[in-house]
Amino acid sequence: MRAKTNEELREEIQKARKRDKIYAAKIGMRKLKKVTAIYVRVSTNSQSTRSQKPDILRWIKAQEDELNIKWFIDKASGKSMDRPRWNKLQAAIDNNRVGRLVVWRLDRLGRTASGLTKLFEELQARKIQFESIKDKIDLNTTAGRLIANVLASVAAYEVEVKSERVRAGQAIAKAAGKRWGGSKKGSLYKITDEQVKQIVKMKKAGKKITTIARTVGVNRQSIYRVLKRVEEGDIKAA
């Protein structure tokens, strides 16, 4: 058997080192720490998440292990699971990047019974820990799963009842000849009668729309809208 040259030995050593690096990288990926996903949701932009965060921060502080935390905050309705930040969280779950999901209360995840039931099943299948701080639900037990599904159904029920009340109120208002929502005909939102008079006066004087808008302190679209409604007789400038 022919003895290997120094060049051949160096090549083999380099190949072995390359294989070791690839193997080490693969092992590192397997051991990559999964995130603790904290999901916070309010229904509208006018609502604040301040009521949820204190309890969540206390929970984080109470944990003994160092957490790899990632926050997901939505300002969207819970009627559907299709929400911007939830979609990103769902993608992380699908990519096996989430080890634990934490919420302040179960209904913050959503108010759709079918969507939440599907989520509970997925969390179990992927062995993702679930923590609902206010509800204290354990999806690893039969009783915990039952409570979770009951609460999900209650959340969905509350949405349906609210919608029924709104529809009932609209029907009563319509039967009484009243308007439901919107502005009273002949009124302009955030534009005073004095501003309307000034707009019309300056337009008759031949002033440019840009000049009128700057003088009165409203945007050009509002100026055009005022002039159109004055022309149609919907509002009076006098």
Pairing of strands 35-42, 69-75: parallel
| Tokens read off for 10 | 């160096």
For residue 169, the surrounding DSSP H or E stretch is helix 142-175
| Tokens read off for 234 | 């919907």
Would you call 85 exposed, middle or buried from its count of C-beta atoms within 10 A (0-12, 13-18, 19+)? middle
- What secondary structure letter does DSSP report for 138? -
Would you call 144 exposed, middle or buried from its count of C-beta atoms within 10 A (0-12, 13-18, 19+)? middle
Helix (H, G, I), strand (E, B), or coil: what is residue 35? Answer: strand
Active site annotation includes 46: no
| Tokens read off for 57 | 């921060």
CB 52 within 8 A of CB 104: yes
Which residue of the set 43, 48, 80, 187 is catalytic? Answer: 43
Cα Rg of the chain, angstroms? 31
The residues carrying an active-site annotation are: 43
